[in-house]
Amino acid sequence: MDIAPGAPSMPTGNLRLVPVHDASPDREQQWWRSSVIYQIYPRSFRDLRGDGIGDLPGITAEIPTLAELDIDAIWLSPFYVSPQKDAGYDVADYCDVDPLFGTLEDFDNLVATAKNHGIRVIVDLVPNHCSDQHALFQAALTAPENSPARDMFIFRDGTGENGENPPNNWQSHFGGPAWTRTTNPDGTPGQWYLHLFDSSQPDFNWDNPAVHDEFERILRFWLDRGVGGFRVDVAHALIKKSGLPDWGGRADGASTEGFPGDQAPMFGQAGIHDIYRSWRKILDDYDGDRVLCAEATIDPLDRLTDWVRNDEMHQTFNFAYLHHPWNPHELRRIITTSLEAFDKVGAPTTWVLSNHDVVRHVSRFGQAEGHTRPGDGLGPEDFQPDHELGLRRARAATVLMLALPGGVYLYQGEELGLPDHTMIPHEFRQDPTFHRTDGVRVGRDGSRVPLPWVADAPSYGFSSTGKSWLPQPGLWGTHSRDIQQRNPDSTLSLYRKALKLRRELNLGHGSLAWWPEKDSEGAVAFVNGNVLAVMNMGTEPVELPEFEILCQSSPGAMAHTRLRPNRTVWMRIP
Ligand code: GLC
User: For every one of its 574 residues, what pLDDT tens digit does the chain have, with 9 covering 90 and above?
Assistant: 334 444 445 677 789 999 999 998 887 789 999 999 999 999 999 999 999 999 999 999 999 999 999 999 999 999 999 999 999 999 999 999 999 999 999 999 999 999 999 999 999 999 999 999 999 999 999 999 999 999 999 999 999 999 999 999 999 999 889 999 999 989 999 999 999 999 999 999 999 999 999 999 999 999 999 999 999 999 999 999 999 999 988 777 777 888 888 889 999 999 999 999 999 999 999 999 999 999 999 988 999 999 999 999 999 999 999 999 999 999 999 999 999 999 999 999 999 999 999 999 999 999 988 776 666 899 999 999 999 999 999 999 999 999 999 999 999 999 999 999 999 999 999 999 999 899 999 999 999 999 999 999 999 999 999 999 999 999 999 999 999 999 999 999 999 999 999 999 999 999 999 999 999 999 999 999 999 999 999 999 999 999 999 999 999 999 999 999 999 999 999 9
The Cα-based distances of 319 to 1, 7, 354, 364, 448 in angstroms read 28, 29, 10, 14, 19
Residue nearest to atom 7 of ligand 1 (CA): 234
Distance in angstroms between the alpha carbons of the first and the last residue of the chain = 24
Distance CA 7, CA 519 (A): 19
Helices 209-224 and 272-284, packing angle to 10 deg = 30
Choose among 512, 567, 531, 541: nearest CA to 19.
Answer: 512
What is the 560 CA–ligand 1 centroid distance (Å)? Answer: 46
Distance CA 166, CA 151 (A): 18
Ligand 1 atom with least separation from CA of 89: 12
Q: For the chain, what is the largest distance between any 2 Cα atoms, rounded to a whole number of angstroms?
A: 81
What is the 7 CA–ligand 1 centroid distance (Å)? Answer: 42
Q: Distance of alpha carbon 472 from its chain centroid, rounded?
A: 22
What is the 295 CA–ligand 1 centroid distance (Å)? Answer: 9
Residue nearest to atom 3 of ligand 1 (CA): 357
The predicted structure's pLDDT at residue 16: 96
Per the CB < 8 A criterion, the answer to whether 378 and 442 are in contact is: yes
Residue nearest to atom 5 of ligand 1 (CA): 89
Our mutation pick for probing the ligand 1 site, out of 234, 238, 430, counting the most ligand atoms within 8 A of Cβ, is 234
Supply the residues annotated as catalytic.
233, 295
In 3-state terms, what secondary structure has residue 179?
strand
The predicted structure's pLDDT at residue 375: 64
Over the range 295-333, which residues count as b (16 or more CB within 10 Å of their CB) and which as e? bbbbbebeebbbbbbeebbbbbbbbbbbebebebeebbe
In 3-state terms, what secondary structure has residue 109?
helix
Ligand 1 atom with least separation from CA of 432: 10
Distance CA 191, CA 182 (A): 6
What is the 224 CA–ligand 1 centroid distance (Å)? Answer: 25
Pairing between β-strand 315-316 and β-strand 291-294 as defined by DSSP bridges: parallel
CB atoms under 10 Å from CB of 140, counted, come to 23
CA angle 544, 322, 430 (to 5 degrees): 140
Distance CA 465, CA 458 (A): 8
Choose among 298, 239, 299: nearest CA to 265.
Answer: 239
In 3-state terms, what secondary structure has residue 209?
helix
Counting Cα atoms < 13 Å in the Cβ hemisphere of 68 gives 11
Ligand 1 atom with least separation from CA of 128: 12
Residue nearest to atom 4 of ligand 1 (CA): 89
Residue nearest to atom 6 of ligand 1 (CA): 89
Q: Which residues contact 241 (CB under 8 A, 6 or more apart)?
A: 265, 266, 269
Our mutation pick for probing the ligand 1 site, out of 82, 130, 197, counting the most ligand atoms within 8 A of Cβ, is 197
Amino acid at 10: M
Ligand 1 atom with least separation from CA of 355: 8
What is the 141 CA–ligand 1 centroid distance (Å)? Answer: 24
Our mutation pick for probing the ligand 1 site, out of 128, 233, 434, counting the most ligand atoms within 8 A of Cβ, is 233
Ligand 1 atom with least separation from CA of 198: 6
Per the CB < 8 A criterion, the answer to whether 366 and 391 are in contact is: yes
What is the 196 CA–ligand 1 centroid distance (Å)? Answer: 11
What is the 234 CA–ligand 1 centroid distance (Å)? Answer: 7
Task: Report the pocket of ligand 1 as residue ranges, CB < 6 Å.
Answer: 86, 89, 126, 197, 233-234, 295, 356-357
Residue nearest to atom 12 of ligand 1 (CA): 89
Distance CA 453, CA 466 (A): 12
Per the CB < 8 A criterion, the answer to whether 476 and 453 are in contact is: no
Distance CA 1, CA 513 (A): 12
The Cα-based distances of 178 to 150, 182, 201, 432, 518 in angstroms read 18, 13, 10, 14, 49
Residue nearest to atom 2 of ligand 1 (CA): 233
